[in-house]
Structure 1
Amino acid sequence: MTTTLLLIIAYLLGSIPSGLWIGKVFFHKNLQDYGSGNIGTTNTFRILGTKAGIVVFILDCLKGTLATILPSLLGIHTISPALFGLIAVLGHTFSIFNHFKGGKAVATAAGLFLGYSPWFVVILGILFLLTFYLTSMVSFSSIVCAATAAILILVLPFFHIIFVSYDWLFTITILFIASFIIIRHRENIVRIRNKTENIFNFGLNLTHQKHNI
């Protein structure tokens, strides 16, 4: 019963549409009517500005972290905490508070990884920043990090690096989330190939995409 209740709480935590609510309350804008129509971090940066984007990223990330560590805080160790983080990620993407629509899961997935293994997040965070600087694209950086996470979770435990052994539920969770993130970015992939992807006014834009911010 306790586990079921925590899974419900994890889903509700993930379902909190931070960008949507902040946009409506503080800026009187519905993010779904602007830019990409997404309520996640990237569109928040574009439409509401840097400060709002940072706040939304932190809040969306914390949803995944809190959901992941909540079972441990309550002394539940019979199920991998990755499951609770995964439920939060699904809540973020299919929010009950937003007609089962939501973001692309990147920030909340990062929160899950942070709650499970901070060093894993450090590696992916460095990779994200480097890729973002080289390409100026959040979408491409997210795709690269998702694919890399899938590879690393299969390789690192084998060599006992960061992870002392395989947590197969966490491994399956990573593989699922990585695939999910890449699929959610399929339209971005098409634009990247056509060199029409929106970029931030930051970095080298090595692939010469269309400017947006």
Structure 2
Amino acid sequence: MMLPILLILAAYLIGSVSTAILTCRLLGLPDPRTQGSGNPGATNVLRSGGKKAAIITLAGDLLKGWLPVLLARLLGLDGPALALVALAAFLGHLFPAYHGFKGGKGVATGLGVLLGLHWGVGLASLLTWLAAAVISRMSSVGALTASLLAPLWIALILGDIWVTLAACVMLVLLYWRHWGNIRRILDGSEPRIGQKANPRR
């Protein structure tokens, strides 16, 4: 009983590490929370700090979702325990303990969680994101589409109801965090890939 609790706590604390903020500090770049959209994530770092900082941020956010879930699987967790570890890592990114519980939108960390659950789930979600992003030329559309289909990939590939439910919770939270993007998509003002974001919109 103690092991699952420790892993859930560790997943949240690992997820709470803001790769975007740390990367920008190490590279001498402005705090991403004060630039562009204000979101401490790879897309905003790309717009305000360049490709190198964005790649590091993306890799770190993926890793902090992937590592706790993979560790939990290797230690034999499944069902509700594994689902809670996955959800804890995701919640850590959205509500980080180290940054006043104000974090990113969860796209890269969510993908890391999916990769940790099963490489097939992660690959299917990544391909979904790429297809939607290329067609729309909007990163947010890719993220929203991939998260919408993630529970389906989990149900088909893993067949675990608890993990599927956790993915549904992640989906709701991700859409909530992207509500501003959804409104801009609907009114046609959402920035395209490679286009500067309007500050604080």
Residues 20, 31 of structure 1: 8 Å contact kept: yes
| Mapping 1:88-107, distance limit 5 Å | 88-107=89-108
Residues 20, 41 of structure 2: 8 Å contact kept: yes
1:46-101, CA deviations, whole angstroms, 9 ceiling, x for partnerless residues?
11111211111111111111110222334555754232121010001100111111
**2:190 alignment partner, one of 194, 197, 207:** 197
Report the RMSD for the aligned CA atoms in angstroms: 1.8
* In structure 1, C-alpha distance between the alignment counterparts of 2:144 and 2:123, rounded to whole Å: 17
In 2: Cα distance, 1:69 partner to 1:103 partner: 22
CA contact (8 A) 1:82 1:112 kept: no
Q: Which amino acid aligns with 2:161?
A: W
In structure 2, runs of 5+ residues without a counterpart are: none
Aligned equivalent of 1:133: 134
Distance of 1:76 and 1:148 partners within structure 2: 24
Question: Quick one: distance in 2 between partners of 1:195 and 1:85?
Answer: 34
- Find the aligned partners of 2:172 and 2:41 in 1 and give their Cα distance: 18
2:168 to 162, 168, 175: 175
Correspondence for 1:18? 19
What is the DSSP-based 3-state SS (H/G/I as helix, E as strand, rest coil) of the residue aligned with 1:212? coil
3-state SS in 2 of match to 1:92: helix
- Candidates 161, 178, 181, aligned match of 1:185: 178
Structure possessing the higher radius of gyration over alpha carbons: 1
- The runs of 5 or more residues in structure 1 that have no matched partner are 157-161, 202-210
Residue 199 of structure 2 corresponds to residue 212 of structure 1:
no
Higher RCO (Cα < 8 Å, 6 or more apart):
2
Letter paired with 2:163: F
User: How big is each residue's C-alpha offset from its partner over 1:7-50, in whole Å with a ceiling of 9 and x where there is no partner?
Assistant: 11111100000001111221241111000000011111111111
Is 2:23–2:56's contact at 8 Å kept on the other side of the alignment? Answer: no
